Structure 1
Amino acid sequence: MLEKQFYDQMFAHSFNIPITVQYWDHTTKTYGEGTPSLTIHLRKAVPIKALLKNASLALGEAYMRGDIDVTGGGQFPLQALLTAAYESAGSFMRNKKLIRVIPKQSHTEKKSKADIQAHYDLGNDFYKLWLDDTMTYSCAYFDDWDDDLTHAQQNKVDHILRKLDLQPGRRFLDIGCGWGTLMLTAAKRYHLDVTGITLSQEQYDFVNERIQALGLQDHARVLLEDYRELTDGPYDYITSIGMFEHVGQENLGLYFKDVAKLMKTGGSALIHGITRQQGGATNAWLNKYIFPGGYIPGLSENITHIIDANLQVSDLEPLRRHYQRTLEHWDENFNAHRNVIQQKFGYSFTRMWDVYLQAAAASFASGNIDVIQYLVTKAPSGTGLPLTRDYIYA
């Protein structure tokens, strides 16, 4: 009875839309005003103690087991439910102060490599199933909401490279190069001498194959190396896309100082990553199952580190809704291959990745998190960039 009362209070205060809940005892109750389009199927009660200790971890694991399901609400029911939870100003969990102090995490070079490989070395074949043809695993850039994902990812690469105002023959570094589309586009289209670094063995092998296939051996190389080990700077241009989320709160200052150290005076860098405008945060479920060692920094936190590294902010561009749309494409692709993925990785893994993609989309949709491009320069006075933004769109 106590569990039922707890859940009754939780559901009454956690969403800004009406919902229906089907409880484990086969009773049904509607919460909120209006006609619900979403139904939560609570097949088994999650212990109150586990919810109070860490709600995201307890509920995420319950969903992975199949103890919780969500139906209705269109193509992305979990996303719709979680968006309503994030947007709810009177969230029960927030009132109960379940957000804990951010725990300390290890981000030694050895631990960072293990964390990256735990996520990115699930196999290139796995990522090929649901990423686009460019194998780009970061926020795309949409001219229109209905753009094809491959077009939007190519658009993102072009947008980043135009922002840097690249000049041929110069040196270009991509920190956390992924599967190489950005760095190889810079080499092929802008005739730059490019270096990419990654801690993922799968990505390293893939990029090396692409360099050979494109005949770029004289202009491109990839290193299986930590950014803290790199000593062959300075570079004219630096990009780092979806990288600083992995370095840890305690290493953020070092990360931006290393970017500055590797950059020529007068050079520029485009840093693109997930940021919370409300302040830094971790998520216990994501850290345990998806991104070990992950930390989402606050906007002011990043700006402080950029200033402390003696870099100048030249442009900031929030891309929150672009990442929402990217994740919706990924989840649609993921579920189109759900049977294949489940046969290889199992039931719990498949539900885990589905909830990760939809929860992330909800977090961007609601404004709980953002993704921002920071264009920074290293120059004692002024910058080498044009006076206005017109050059980006010319």
Structure 2
Amino acid sequence: MFLLSHMLTSFIRKGQLTVIDAEGKRHVFGGMEPGPQVTMRLTDPKLYRSLVFKAELVAGEAYMDGTMRFEEGSTLRDFLMLFSINRLSLGKYPIQKVLRALKMRFRKRLQSNKKGEAQRNVAHHYDLGNDFYKLFLDENMLYSCAYFREESETLEQAQRNKLRLLAAKLDLKPGLKVLDIGCGWGDLALYMARLENVEVVGVTLSKEQHALATQRAAEAGLSDRVRFELKDYRDVTETFDRVVSVGMFEHVGVQHYDEFFKQLNALMPDDGLAVIHSIGHMSPPGMTSPWIRKYIFPGGYSPALSEVLAVTEQNSLWVTDIEVLRLHYAMTLAHWGQRFEANRDKVVAMYDERFARMWEFYLVSAEMTFRAGSQMVFHLQLSRKRDGAPIVRDYVTDRQRAYIEKEKELGLSI
């Protein structure tokens, strides 16, 4: 317990953490600044050492296994908030600094998403079954950051806001051809086709998503203008007036950024326009949590903007607009977490208790990184030409207002 106590003394600056060890002895850390008060029990003595050398990975696994639990009114949410607000001091702890430096040398290897490998990585997460995702996503199954114009909005309203915002930024016009990279279950593609009478091709590596998206297009009577393909974006050979990608860039990997933007460039004409919606972070380049990489998103990484912009410059792409969504994903994840907990018994029946605890840890830890950590979402609008998009940004707001009225006319209001 000595090493763990030494690290926690350095780590906990805000709030207070009480650790009850396997023998029932209490150890109290922090209390110098206000913050959450958390009581944690560790039932396996092996955790004392492993938490020092593999803190993020082992903490998640210990919660999944039940060897780390919270007592005296404390919750997992309290603990992860405590972790998030103290994360910078953990990074300064000598052992953690050395380990981080070593890991950074191999981070590109950990983000590999070569063809074939990318499909396996996607299947690990997105092919868990559509019935599972229906338990906590909105009615239209949008699995990415929503856009809350008002905090009181429902998840369904906020997700529609997001589609409306993206469509506005794409500067859509009837007859255009649009590519949706990483199309999910197809709602954005269907929304754009209904709204502006455009032709949309969606590509995904998830068999589950592809099947349901294709079914939805047929049921909506849009199969003549919307089609979905089970295909790697690198294998797309057609050209498109517009390209959009929502929640897919996080699966590209730093060493594949040049490949991604070269393909984006090849897919569009000179006056084409692309919008990338991606998770990122406001801190310097880093790496994915080892727990997230192992259990949730193998090959995933949310980049710093500095990493992305450097590659757009190398590929002669104009960044015509950047918008940063700061708290919207925290709010989205809170909605997902509430719906997940309301259906937790169904999750356990589908899988098991350990799986349910894994997803609890994922949803709450992700929310905390957006609420108190360095994570954010960015929208990057790109073109080959400086005037690929209107040069005054008012059109984004004007289009959204017009689309609200058009949704009413088409019976699409939520």
Report the TM-score, using the length of structure 1 for normalisation.
0.93
Matching residue within 119, 138, 141 for 2:144: 138
The residue aligned with 1:9 is 6
The Cα offsets for residues 266-325 of structure 1, whole Å up to 9 and x where unpaired, read as: 111110111123214122211111111112222111001111121100111111311111
CA distance in structure 1 between the aligned counterparts of 2:250 and 2:85, rounded to whole angstroms: 25
**8 Å CA contact retained: 1:134, 1:154:** no
**8 Å CA contact retained: 1:20, 1:36:** no
Matching residue within 120, 129, 132 for 2:126: 120
CA distance in structure 2 between the aligned counterparts of 1:295 and 1:96, rounded to whole angstroms: 20
Change (3 A) 1:35 1:365: closer
Stretch of structure 1 that moved more, 363-372 or 352-361: 363-372
Does residue 319 of the first structure (1) align with residue 325 of the second (2)?
A: yes
Stretch of structure 1 that moved more, 26-35 or 248-257: 26-35
1:272 partner SS: strand
CA distance in structure 1 between the aligned counterparts of 2:344 and 2:118, rounded to whole angstroms: 30
CA distance in structure 2 between the aligned counterparts of 1:90 and 1:50, rounded to whole angstroms: 16
The residue aligned with 1:172 is 178
Does residue 246 of the first structure (1) align with residue 215 of the second (2)?
A: no
Change (3 A) 1:324 1:285: same
Stretch of structure 1 that moved more, 100-109 or 290-299: 100-109
Stretch of structure 1 that moved more, 4-13 or 333-342: 4-13
The Cα offsets for residues 89-108 of structure 1, whole Å up to 9 and x where unpaired, read as: 77547754332221514422
Change (3 A) 1:73 1:389: farther
**8 Å CA contact retained: 1:256, 1:306:** yes
The Cα offsets for residues 25-65 of structure 1, whole Å up to 9 and x where unpaired, read as: 11223322268532222222344553354322222211110
**8 Å CA contact retained: 2:370, 2:376:** yes
Does residue 305 of the first structure (1) align with residue 311 of the second (2)?
A: yes
Paired letter, 1:308: Q
The Cα offsets for residues 100-142 of structure 1, whole Å up to 9 and x where unpaired, read as: 2215144221111111011100000000000011200000101
CA distance in structure 2 between the aligned counterparts of 1:30 and 1:39, rounded to whole angstroms: 9
The residue aligned with 1:287 is 293
**8 Å CA contact retained: 1:321, 1:365:** yes
Q: How many residues align?
A: 388
2:116 partner SS: helix
Matching residue within 21, 24, 31 for 1:23: 21
Indicate the RMSD between aligned Cα atoms, in angstroms: 2.0
Paired letter, 2:184: G
Stretch of structure 1 that moved more, 5-14 or 160-169: 5-14
CA distance in structure 2 between the aligned counterparts of 1:292 and 1:126, rounded to whole angstroms: 19
CA distance in structure 1 between the aligned counterparts of 2:237 and 2:74, rounded to whole angstroms: 52
Change (3 A) 1:296 1:153: same
Matching residue within 373, 392, 396 for 1:392: 396
Change (3 A) 1:94 1:255: farther
CA distance in structure 1 between the aligned counterparts of 2:196 and 2:346, rounded to whole angstroms: 39
Does residue 207 of the first structure (1) align with residue 204 of the second (2)?
A: no
The residue aligned with 2:402 is none
Q: Give unmatched runs, 5+ long, in structure 1.
A: none
The residue aligned with 2:401 is none
Paired letter, 1:63: Y
Which aligned pairs between 1:9-88 and structure 2 lie closer than 5 A? 9-15=6-12, 16-33=14-31, 37-47=37-47, 50-70=50-70, 72=73, 76-86=77-87, 88=89
CA distance in structure 1 between the aligned counterparts of 2:35 and 2:179, rounded to whole angstroms: 53
2:273 partner SS: strand
**8 Å CA contact retained: 1:70, 1:77:** no
**Identical aligned residues as a percent:** 37
CA distance in structure 1 between the aligned counterparts of 2:198 and 2:85, rounded to whole angstroms: 46
**8 Å CA contact retained: 2:77, 2:364:** yes
CA distance in structure 2 between the aligned counterparts of 1:160 and 1:85, rounded to whole angstroms: 35
CA distance in structure 2 between the aligned counterparts of 1:318 and 1:10, rounded to whole angstroms: 34
CA distance in structure 1 between the aligned counterparts of 2:235 and 2:91, rounded to whole angstroms: 46
Q: What displacement does 1:12 show?
A: 1.8
Matching residue within 334, 354, 359 for 1:328: 334
Paired letter, 1:249: V
Which aligned pairs between 1:189-208 and structure 2 lie closer than 5 A? 189-208=195-214
1:37 partner SS: strand
Q: What displacement does 1:10 show?
A: 2.2
Change (3 A) 1:195 1:103: closer
Change (3 A) 1:40 1:96: farther
CA distance in structure 2 between the aligned counterparts of 1:94 and 1:273, rounded to whole angstroms: 32
1:358 partner SS: helix
Paired letter, 1:331: G
Q: Give unmatched runs, 5+ long, in structure 2.
A: 399-414
Stretch of structure 1 that moved more, 200-209 or 90-99: 90-99
Paired letter, 1:30: V
CA distance in structure 1 between the aligned counterparts of 2:126 and 2:232, rounded to whole angstroms: 15
The Cα offsets for residues 325-355 of structure 1, whole Å up to 9 and x where unpaired, read as: 1111111111111111012211111111111
